[in-house]
C-alpha cells in the first residue's frame, strides 16, 4: 500500500496543502520529492491519489489526480465501551481496535476504574486513531466518544439489539463468548469491558437488568486491553469479508 496521509476535510478543488504532523512526516521522515505520488484520506471514507507539487519549509502542496470512495469498514456498527487502562496501554488498545475495524470507542467511568478519561488523554488517543488508520488502510476514523457512566451507557445503547459485557466465568450469568459473539448483527453490536478490578455487583446487575448478555472470557483475570481485543476479535475474525 502506498504512503498514506490524513487530511481533516475533503479537498474543495484539485489543489491541497498539508501541514503540521503530516507535512513533517513527508518532509523530514520520508524525504519526499516533487512528482512523488501519495495517498490522502479524509477520515470520511474518501481516498485520493495525489502528486507532490511543491515542498515548503513546513507544508507540502499536492495536486489531486484521482478520488475514490474506498470502503474497508465492517458491515455493521461495532462500539466498544471500556474502562480505559493506564498509560501507554491506552494507546495500544486504541491502535488495535482501529485495526480490527471498531466503529466507536466509549471511555467508561466505573466504580473501580483507575484511569480517568481526561480531555487531554482523549485528544492524544484521537491522534493514535489517525496513525493507526494510516497504517491499516481505513478511510473512516474510529470515533472516540465522550466518557459515559454505566447508567449513561445503558441508556445510550438501548436501541441496539446485541449488547454484551465481559464477565468472569464463575458468575452464573456468564456464558461463553461463542454464545454471544457469533458474527456481527446488522443492527450493530456493543461490547463493554470493565476495569481490572471487575464490575461491582451493582454494575453487573445494571447490565443484566437492562437486557445485556454476560459473556465469559474464562477463569483468568485479563487485562483490560486483552479482554477488549479478545471480544472484538471473536466477533470479527470469523467472517470471510475481513
* CATH code of the domain in which 52 resides: 2.40.240.20
- Are residues 99 and 152 located together in one domain of the fold? yes
Domain end among 12, 41, 69: 69
**Integer angstrom CA distances of residue 239 from 38, 190, 216:** 31, 18, 21
pTM of the entire structure?
0.89
Residues near 143 by beta carbon (within 8 Å), at least 6 away in sequence: 103, 104, 105
pLDDT of residue 183: 58
pLDDT reported for residue 196:
87
Tell me if 56 is assigned to some domain.
yes
Residue 241 lies inside a defined structural domain of this protein? no
Measured at the alpha carbon of residue 205, what is the angle toward residues 115 and 228, in degrees to the nearest 5?
Answer: 45
Mean per-residue pLDDT, 112-136: 93
Are 82 and 63 found together in one domain? Answer: no
Summarised one tens digit per residue, pLDDT across range 78-122 is: 999 999 999 999 999 999 999 999 999 999 999 999 888 889 999
Residue of 203, 190, 194 lying closest to 162 (CA atoms): 190
Please name every residue paired with 235 in a beta bridge, in sequence order, or none if there are none: none
Q: Are residues 184 and 210 in the same domain?
A: yes
Examine residue 242 and state whether it is found in any structural domain, yes or no.
no
Instruction: Report which of residues 10 and 89 the model is more confident about.
Output: 89
In a shared domain, residues 42 and 128? no
Q: What angle do CA 118, 80, 21 make, to 5 degrees?
A: 55
Q: Taking the CB of residue 20, how many other CB atoms lie within 10 A of it?
A: 10
One domain, residues 105 and 146: yes
156-204 pLDDT, tens per residue?
999 888 999 998 754 444 455 555 555 566 678 999 999 988 999 999 9
- Output the pLDDT for position 180: 53
Same domain for 86 and 134, yes or no, is yes
User: Residue 170 belongs to what domain range?
Assistant: 78-236
Nearest to residue 204, comparing CAs of 225, 196, 213, 156? 213
- Which of the listed residues 42, 69, 96 is the one where a domain comes to its end? 69
88 and 153 inside one domain: yes
pLDDT for 217 equals: 82
> Between 53 and 239, where is the model more confident?
53
Domain boundary among 31, 47, 69: 69
- CATH number of the domain that 203 lies in? 3.40.1280.10
Question: Looking at the predicted structure, is the pLDDT value of residue 44 above 70?
Answer: yes
pLDDT at 34: 95
Phi-psi region of 188 (alpha: psi -120 to 50; beta: other; left: phi over 0): left
- Note whether 110 and 142 are same-domain residues: yes
Are residues 120 and 191 both part of a single domain?
Answer: yes
Flag whether 220 is in a domain. yes
My answer on whether 53 and 140 are in the same domain is no
Does 12 have pLDDT greater than 50? yes
Q: How many domains does one find in the chain?
A: 2
Both 159 and 88 in one domain: the answer is: yes
What pLDDT digit, counting tens, does each position of 26-36 carry? 998 889 899 99
Q: Say if residue 158 is in the same domain as residue 210.
A: yes
pLDDT exceeds 50 at position 129 = yes
Amino acid at each position: 500500500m502506498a504512503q498514506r496521509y490524513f487530511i481533516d476535510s475533503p479537498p474543495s478543488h484539485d489543489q491541497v496543502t498539508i501541514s503540521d504532523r503530516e507535512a513533517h512526516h513527508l518532509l523530514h521522515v520520508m524525504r519526499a520529492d516533487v512528482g512523488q505520488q501519495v495517498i490522502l484520506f479524509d477520515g470520511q471514507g474518501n481516498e485520493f491519489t495525489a502528486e507532490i507539487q511543491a515542498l515548503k519549509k513546513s507544508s507540502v502542496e499536492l495536486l489531486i489526480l484521482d478520488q475514490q470512495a474506498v470502503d474497508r469498514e465492517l458491515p455493521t456498527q461495532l462500539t466498544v465501551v471500556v474502562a480505559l487502562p493506564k498509560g501507554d496501554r491506552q494507546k495500544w488498545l486504541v491502535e488495535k481496535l482501529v485495526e480490527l475495524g471498531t466503529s466507536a470507542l466509549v471511555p467508561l467511568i466505573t466504580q473501580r476504574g483507575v484511569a480517568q478519561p481526561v480531555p487531554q488523554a482523549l485528544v492524544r488517543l484521537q491522534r493514535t486513531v489517525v496513525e493507526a488508520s494510516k497504517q491499516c488502510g481505513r478511510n473512516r476514523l474510529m470515533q472516540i466518544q465522550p466518557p459515559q457512566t454505566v447508567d449513561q451507557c445503558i441508556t445510550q445503547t438501548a436501541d441496539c439489539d446485541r449488547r454484551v459485557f465481559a464477565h468472569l466465568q464463575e458468575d452464573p450469568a456468564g456464558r461463553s463468548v461463542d454464545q454471544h459473539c457469533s458474527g456481527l448483527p446488522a443492527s450493530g453490536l456493543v461490547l463493554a469491558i470493565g476495569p481490572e478490578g471487575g464490575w461491582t455487583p451493582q454494575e453487573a446487575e445494571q447490565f443484566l437488568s437492562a437486557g445485556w448478555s454476560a459473556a465469559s472470557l474464562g477463569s483468568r483475570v485479563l487485562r483490560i486491553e486483552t479482554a477488549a481485543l479478545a471480544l472484538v476479535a471473536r466477533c470479527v475474525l470469523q467472517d470471510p469479508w475481513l
